[in-house]
Structure formats: C-alpha cells, structure tokens
Structure 1
Amino acid sequence: MKKAKLFFLLILAGGLVYGLSYVWQAFPIISGYGAKNLCTCVFVAGRTQESVLADELGSMPLSLGTFEVNMADSSATGSVFGTASKKAIFRKGLGCTLISEIPEEEIRSQEINLAPIATAPDSLVWPYGLTESDTIFENVDYEALNRAIDNAFAENKPDVKINTRAVVVLYKGYLIGEKYAEGFDQNTAQIGWSMTKSITSTMMGLMVKDGLIKISDNNLIEDWKNDQRSEITLDQLLRMSSGLEWEENYAGPSSATNMLFKSADMGAFAAHQPLEHQPDDYWYYSSGTTNIISRIARERLGEKYHNYLRDRLFSPLGMTTTVLEPDASGTYVGSSYMYASPRDWAKFGQFYLNGGSWNGEQLLPKNWASYISTPTDKAPLGEYGAHFWLNAGQQDNPENRLYPDAPADLYSANGFEGQRVFIIPSKDMVIVRMGQTKVRGSFDFNEFLKSVLAAVD
C-alpha cells in the first residue's frame, strides 16, 4: 500500500513538473504570437483591435492571453494570466517587430532607411499599371466562375470557420474574378505566413541574376566552417534538404515557435541547429531553413539588404502594399512575415507565370521558374521544389498528388492558414485565395481549383 501511494505521488509530482515546464515554455509563445499579430493587423492592415481579438486571437489556447494595443507608442502587448509579458513595436515601412532578447530602445534606434516602392504607371492596364481592364473572354463562363468564387466564402461547416477573406483570379494576365470578405478590400494588406518563403526564394533568384550568389555555393555560415555543415549548399537549403535538426510544430513549444516568438536573431537560432541527416538524404519542411537564407542574404548584400527586394521586385511590379517585417536583430523574417494585398500577391504569381519577367524586363534568371518548380528528390509526392509547393505527384504514380483535379504543372506559394498563390502555366492562370482558416484541411482546395478551372474552357 505504501509503495502504491509513493508511486502515485511520484507520478503526480512528475506530472506537475512537466506541466509547469510546459507552461513556462508555452506562455511566452502565446503572449508573443498575440502581441505580434495584433500589432501588425492594426498598424499595417488597418484593422480594429476588436476584430483581431475575435478572429485571430479568439480561440484556445490564444484566448488564454490578454492583448492590448497602445496607440501612443504604436505597439501591442500580450500576457497570459499576468505573466510572460511580450511587446511588439511598429515602425513605418518595417511593420511590427517582437521585442526579444534585445532592448526596445536599441531596436527603435536601428537605422534602416527604406526606399519608397514605386507606383505602377497609370497608362498601363492592371497588373502592369493602374488602369482597370474591360476585357471579356468568350471562353470564360463568368457566371460559373462567380459561383465558384462565392462558394469559397461559404460558411457551410457548423463546427469550423472557413474565414476566406479574398479570392483573385487572373487569366492570360487579366483580372477575371475577385471578391473580398466584409472588412477587407483590394488594398487591405494580408499576411502570407509561409508564402513569404517563396518571396525569400525569389530574393535568391534575383541575387543569382545579379551574380551575388550561386545555388551550388556552400560554406554559407561562418559557424559551420569547421564541421560537416559547411558542405550544405544553397540549393539544399532552398529544397529543405539541408539535414539540419528541426521541429516544425506550432501546437506548442518547438524549434519553430521558439524561433519566431523568443529569438532576436532567428537566422542565427536556426543556424545553430546540429546536423541530423546527411545533406540531400532527407526532406523536412523547416521555417528555420528560410531564416538562415535570409541571414545569408543580409551578409552578402550588406547595406543594400533592406532595400534589395524593394528595388529589384516590389518597385518593378508596383507592389506598393508590401510590408516585409524584420526580427529584433533587423533581419527580415523570410519564413513568415510578409503582408501584401491580394492583388499584390496576384502580381507575384503573374510574375512567375511570365517566367520571371515584367513589362519586358527579365528580372530573374530565365531558368529560375523552372528551377523552383522542379520536384525535390526526397519529397514523397513530388510536392516541393525550391521554396514553392508543387502538384507534380508521386514519381511512379503522378495521379497521387496534392490536387488531383488540377494540372500537374501547378505550383504555389502556401501559407499555413490557407493562404495560396497558385500558378498554373498550362492554363495561363493565377489564382489567389487569402484567409484565416485555423483547422487545416477544412477548406477544400482541390474542389476550389476544380470549380474555378472548369469555368475557363
């Protein structure tokens, strides 16, 4: 009896220690996630605090937190039961940065001078200019297309909120369909989450075009020079095949959440991870990998870094709503934190549909679109290229693919709450869906694509 009682007490004590340890790790993540997202939604997207608290932060476990905007110093704070306080600060052009490890005063004093993003010319038709087109295609069933778009907004699952916020459809470079949820419009900047990874990949393509880096380059990080990590190439990083140890899990404390919500220098945090597999032997999706790439870009570009994408991508395309946010060290969070309007995300898709050219100017290497959309060897369903998701299918069974009713040449930028930029070369189409769908898989992308594509003969 005494042994049983002792055993029970040991189990209870162990459970208590585990629970306290979990809380100690999890509460700052909840606080940080809430403070950062509330800050950006209010100061970048122009939304109300009430709408963000209800939608982004209203479900468990985020609802455990208390979050508040401070208009006086353009910030937002978060805490959980009065503990684990976190603060995010807004800086014009840079969006919001979560204060982690570096004092607020030091972050605010960083000298980051941003060049303005050029506006598209009035004289050209959108997406190349600001003039609206009245082009009508005879082979487009606009009634069927509008039904397909309307269905993407339908809340027909009583236990799950789909929360579609925008759909934009381009065909042959023309806008043929568009719709927005209440409170959002064509100018509302929306978070791309991991669609930002495809922006980071594009930055590498631009740097390759400018002769600043090669995808075969290794010895990419100073701390790696004396171990096997020095063999990791940029290509392996872009293909999520570096072999670095990582846990991409957002349900609790993990490599990904500790990086995003506790670390000042996210690229350095990820680069410190040890090698778990031989490079190229194993495919594993990792946000840390992307922030390593962003840090490599900063080291290569030096003082040009903060304006490089503005000068080489956002201004040529006229992506004026774009905000790419840095971490506390000043390095862009290339894995997750870019905001842009759905139309600007659509421009990005059209840019790739054009093979990396815009208004007749080849901005990317001519083979870059082919490179990023070529399947990575170890991705089991041929579902990943170089920081873009693919629909290629299993190597020996191509019908086994992510979207069986969409063409196999489709590739996309994907965000974890159902944000998508689909690029479909064989259909000459770009399809954008923005949203905040919390339950993964509850929005049927295959059916959405099938119905939109069926409207275009």
Structure 2
Amino acid sequence: MKIINKTLLKIFFFLIIFSCSKENSELNDTVDNTIETLYFPDLDSNVWKKKSITELNWNTTQLQPLLDFLDTKNTKSFIVLYKGKIVVEEYFNNHSNTSIWYWASAGKTLTSTLSGIAQDENLININAKVSDYLGLGWTSIPLEKENLITCKNLLSMNSGLDDSLGEDVSPSNLKYITDAEQRWAYHNVYVKMQDVIANASQQTFTNYFNSKLKDKIGMSGIWQNLDDLNVFWSNTRSMARFGLLISANGKWENSQIVSENFITEATNTSQNINNSYGYLWWLNGKESYHLPQSQITFTGELIPNAPEDMFCALGKNDQKIYIVPAKDLVIIRMGEAANTSNFALSSFDNDLWEKINALID
C-alpha cells in the first residue's frame, strides 16, 4: 500500500510540474507572439509615438541617402508611419511641422472618403444619378445623356464628359464626348461630388467635412480656392492622420469613421478601362494603367518599385500619400515638383521607392 501511495504521489507531483511548465510555455508563447496593435495619436495633442529604424531591423545606413535624395528633389516634408507610429519625420527647405502646404489632387481622396461617409449615413447613393442631387442641367449635354452619369462615375473618372476644356466645371464647360462608362479621363468634374454632398447634407461641404472627418481624427487644415478648384491645405501630420485612417480601413481607434466596405470599394479597380484607378485612389500592382490627359493604355504596374498591394493619393507636383497594407506603412511626401510639373504620377515615384526599399528591406 505504501508503495502504491508513493507511486501515486510521484504521478501527482509530475502532473503538477507538467501543468505549470505547460502554462509557462503558453505564457511565453503569448508574450513572444504579441502582435503590435495599430497606434492612433490623440486628437488634441501634438504628441505622436515613435518607433526607431533599429527596432524594425531596417537598414540604418540607407536613411541618409534617402533624406539626401528627398532634399535634392524639392521636398518640403516626408513622414513614414509603421503601424501608426512615426519612424521617419523630416522637413526641408525652411518647411516645419507647423507649415501648411497644398494637397492638390491628393485631396481628391478626401472627397472620395466624404462620399463614403455620406452614403453610410444614407444621405446619398453613389449608384444614383448626379442629377438626383444637383437637378437637371448641371451639364450642357442632352438630358438623356446627363441622366446616365452617376455619382460613381464621378468618383471613377468615367463620366464621358470632355476633359480637354480646362478647370471650369460650370454647365457650359461640361460637354459630351461619349456615354458614361465608355471612356476614362482624368477630369475635374469630380468636384461636383462636393456639391452632391453639400446638397444632400443641407450644409456646406466644408462644414460636413469638418464635423464628419477632420475633427474626428484630429486633422488641421483649410479648404481654399486655387485655380477655380477647392483645394485642401494642411501640415504634413494632418495628411499622415488621414493616411492612417484609410490604412485602418476607415476606423480611428474605436470609431468607424467611414465603412470598411466603402474603403474596400474605393481602393480597388472601379471600372473596366483604367485598372489602376479606384474611387479617386491610384492602385499599384495592376497589369495596366492610364494617365491624365491621355487615352493610351500603358502596360505594367503604376509604380514597379513599389509593393504590389500599395495604393496611393497622387497630387500635382508630387504630393503623395502611399499606403502599403502588407507592410503596415503610410508614407507622406509634400513639396514642389521633384523634376518637372506633373498632374499625378511622375518618374519621381519609382525613384523614391527605390530609395525606400533600400531602407526597409
């Protein structure tokens, strides 16, 4: 009996030790495999957490060549976020973290996002006719052709309207070339979506923007008229905040600012002509693309050196928001044209990504 009791005691103690060892092992596994959560800076503070290049095991020797390259390319500011934290933040040519600069067409994505918010609130339906919100005669084309144009066509740049008549989007300057969805053309008529949102929300576009987006993610900045267009100006961190929101699928901490479904639609191919265009977002990794003021189909990726899953906001003279979901990166560049004046894509994009890759790979 004593032998049996001793045997049972040994088994009992063995089970306790094994159990504790297993629990400790599981605890260690949990600690070792902890996934770093996405960080969001406070709304009313300039404090923004940082993460070092060393912590990320990036190539520290390639940071200065990247910064030198940016400096020689008329850059004013450059930010790299990893999972929301600042890894690189540099200012050039007398620009500072409080200086404001224009987004140009990179700000188209603000209008896209506001369209998603308005749809989430059942104020608009992007598949509805533009004339449902602006009334008949918002163009000078025949009404049966005008009624073919939906809000989605404005967001996708396939309205069929003549893109060769300049910046003016008054009815007399909006003329017919072909039916909606038959032609992709980079056209300022997208700004009519701001009127759609204003009419549907019964307030100014700026007020709706401020209350539904800008204030909710702690952005600063103002809309100003530039060459007959409503252009957004802000500091660089405000552009980074917006990029962070989109990279988080429309969520800011625990608040869903714009639905994930809309962000998914907006950042995927929106029509069957320009594979590299969503709802005012440019898309990498596609087999072909079109460029502003051209009807040529270019074969290959938009930015070959950039990750395939990258999508971006591209503004005149190289205003950039790059978002790379697979690498948890948001990258911002503001400044003058790096080389020559351009509307969106330029050779600078591919050259810059060569330098970025040397740093992060």
- TM-score range (shorter-chain normalised) is 0.7 to 0.9
Count of residue pairs the alignment pairs up: 303
Measure how far apart 1:302 and its partner are. 1.7
Measure how far apart 1:385 and its partner are. 0.9
Indicate yes or no: 2:341 matched with 1:439. Answer: yes
- Percent of aligned positions with the same letter in both sequences? 23
Indicate yes or no: 2:356 matched with 1:452. Answer: yes
Indicate yes or no: 2:181 matched with 1:280. Answer: yes
Match of 2:136 in 1: 223
Gaps of 5+ in 1: 1-123, 155-161, 248-253, 260-265
Matched residues in 2 for 1:271 and 1:433: separation?
A: 36
Q: What is the TM-score of this pair, normalised by structure 2?
A: 0.77
Measure how far apart 1:383 and its partner are. 2.1
**DSSP-derived class of the 2:104 partner:** coil
Match of 2:74 in 1: 163
Residue identity in the other structure for 2:110: I
Match of 1:300 in 2: 200
Residue identity in the other structure for 1:402: L
Indicate yes or no: 2:322 matched with 1:422. Answer: yes
Measure how far apart 1:439 and its partner are. 3.5
Q: Cα gap change, 1:414/1:214 in structure 2, threshold over 3 Å: closer, same or farther?
A: same
1:52-67 alignment runs, 5 A limit: none
Q: What is the TM-score of this pair, normalised by structure 1?
A: 0.61
Indicate yes or no: 2:228 matched with 1:362. Answer: no
> CA RMSD of the aligned region, Å?
2.7
Match of 2:89 in 1: 178
Q: 1:203 aligns with which of 107, 114, 136?
A: 114
Q: Cα gap change, 1:241/1:134 in structure 2, threshold over 3 Å: closer, same or farther?
A: closer
- Cα deviation, 1:121-146, whole Å, max 9, x if unaligned, reads xxx97376532424332323344234
Measure how far apart 1:199 and its partner are. 0.9
Q: Cα gap change, 1:210/1:365 in structure 2, threshold over 3 Å: closer, same or farther?
A: same
Matched residues in 2 for 1:169 and 1:402: separation?
A: 21
- Cα deviation, 1:404-445, whole Å, max 9, x if unaligned, reads 111121111111111111111111101111111143477521
Match of 1:242 in 2: 159
Measure how far apart 1:211 and its partner are. 1.1
Measure how far apart 1:228 and its partner are. 1.9
Measure how far apart 1:456 and its partner are. 2.2
Matched residues in 2 for 1:398 and 1:424: separation?
A: 23
Indicate yes or no: 2:277 matched with 1:384. Answer: yes
Measure how far apart 1:348 and its partner are. 0.8
Q: Cα gap change, 1:228/1:398 in structure 2, threshold over 3 Å: closer, same or farther?
A: closer
Gaps of 5+ in 2: 1-38, 290-296
Matched residues in 1 for 2:50 and 2:229: separation?
A: 39
Match of 2:292 in 1: none
Structure with greater Cα Rg: 2
Matched residues in 2 for 1:290 and 1:419: separation?
A: 19
Q: Cα gap change, 1:318/1:303 in structure 2, threshold over 3 Å: closer, same or farther?
A: same
Measure how far apart 1:272 and its partner are. 5.4
Residue identity in the other structure for 1:164: T
- Cα deviation, 1:358-384, whole Å, max 9, x if unaligned, reads 02111101212211111133444x221
Q: Cα gap change, 1:233/1:432 in structure 2, threshold over 3 Å: closer, same or farther?
A: same
Report if the CA contact (8 A) 2:321-2:331 is conserved: yes
Report if the CA contact (8 A) 1:271-1:292 is conserved: no
Matched residues in 2 for 1:166 and 1:388: separation?
A: 21
Indicate yes or no: 2:67 matched with 1:149. Answer: yes
**DSSP-derived class of the 1:175 partner:** strand
Residue identity in the other structure for 1:199: L
